[in-house]
Amino acid sequence: MRCEGSAVRAAGELYCHRNTVFNPVRRIEQMTGRSLSRPRDLVELSLALDAVRLHPEP
């Protein structure tokens, strides 16, 4: 998210190959039925992650 959807930039920040970024993104999309290239889906996933961080299970 910090790299605004750019797998190449994310790979640079993570010091890895861009395919190393693409593969988990594809898995997330398959598992959630959401596309990280659609703004609405990205917002929903971001809010869900924030909710988990703010209210972790005991």
Interaxial angle between packed helices 7-14 and 18-32, expressed in degrees from 0 to 180 and rounded to the nearest 10: 120
Domain boundaries along the sequence of the chain? 7-54
d(CA 53, CA 30): 22
SS3 state of residue 15: coil
Q: How confident is the model at residue 50 (pLDDT cuts 50, 70, 90)?
A: very high
Residue range 50-55: mean pLDDT, rounded: 93
Flag whether pLDDT at 51 surpasses 90. Answer: yes
Output the pLDDT for position 3.
81
